[in-house]
Amino acid sequence: MNTTSTQLGATAPIAVSAAHVDSVGPLTVAYSPDFLVWMLGSGDGSHPTNPVRAQLATEFLVSELAGATSVLDPTSLDRATVRAAIESVHEHGFVSRVVDDGLDAQWSGRRPEMGQTAMTMFAGTMVAVENMLAGTSKVAFNPQGAKHHAAFDGSSGFCVFNDMVWAALEFKKAGLRPLYLDWDIHAGDGTQTMLFETDIPTLSIHNGATFPYDGMTRELSLAGTRHVSHHLENHAFNWCIEDEDGDDALAWALGEAMEVIDEYQPDVILLAAGADGMGGANNLGVDNTYTYAGFTAAAHSVAEVANRWANGRVLIGGAGGYQPLTHTPRVWANVVEEIYLGVN
């Protein structure tokens, strides 16, 4: 990585050897200008999920990994195929309300364009998985992926359709052993619940004193303290950190998570690379203090464990990040670059 903790824009291109690209394939990035339609709130860009973050992260990656990226537009997928994939993991009535009626609790009124964009974001993960299963790329990134709060029959926490659940099941169907890792500062509750009755492990590192306030991803009596809340029989693992915790807490939890990953020996790792634990002002009230160095170290650990067990295969979704014009896209790009350059 050639990005320092103070650089928020694109940096000089990184020299990526032809041998590396030949070995691991190009970095697949799923991006469509249609992502920019995803305007929650008043629609003026002030919402913490401003989709410009996805555009900026994509631009950083294309500029910095010069010649080593393959940007795919998910609108190229047949819409009926995308809908069928969504309906394979979500209740059909819920899907119909979003896609056909343009209605959902994440926005006000009838907004058909939002339902269509939710499909396109889900399709971004579909094209990423397609490329990975074809052997074209070992590492793929959907900046509008990892909608980890979405449940079987409803949306939650800015997330409508749970693309990572579909991806995990798709990898399993292909004969691989997937494992889901989530370091978004908010628990991956939807993904854990939807995969709870499968044998697919879910690992989440999050602030135990903030949304979603459930009793499945934390011990409610211990909220506000560092603790673990594991469901071993369901392969679900949770590490809860405290308000204002920083890189040391992330390193503690990730160190234990790496031991779990070594036990499962997955063939492919799915990473919800939320940037919302980044320190600094944000407009969602998150007060953790991760740094660029902490995220880069975490990404390095993912690359190492992916090399150890998964033949370098890592699917990355952006998940949360509420400094959309500054830190979020820079953190995402740093993490993706560290993983892509670190796998073999």
HEC states along 262-302?
HHHCCCEEEEECCCCCECCCCCCCCCCEECHHHHHHHHHHH
Domain residues for the domain of 164 are: 25-342
| Of the ranges 32-46, 54-68, 274-288, the best mean pLDDT one | 54-68
For the ranges 204-208, 280-284, 298-302, 331-335, which has the lowest average pLDDT? 280-284
Q: Report pLDDT for 44.
A: 83
- Distance, CA of 157 to chain centre: 14
pLDDT above 90 as % of the chain:
87
What average pLDDT does the segment 75-98 reach?
98
What CATH number is attached to the domain comprising 183?
3.40.800.20
Does residue 10 lie in a domain region? no
Q: Report pLDDT for 223.
A: 84
Does residue 287 lie in a domain region? yes
Does residue 9 lie in a domain region? no
What average pLDDT does the segment 184-205 reach?
98
Domain count, the chain: 1
- Mean per-residue pLDDT over the chain, rounded: 95
Q: Please state, in angstroms and rounded to a whole number, the distance separating the CA atoms of residues 207 and 211.
A: 8
Does residue 16 lie in a domain region? no
Of 162 and 282, the structure prediction assigns the larger pLDDT to: 162
Does residue 155 lie in a domain region? yes
Which amino acid, one-letter code, is at 120? T
pLDDT above 70 as % of the chain:
98
pLDDT at 135 over 60: yes
For the ranges 64-68, 150-154, 300-304, which has the lowest average pLDDT? 64-68
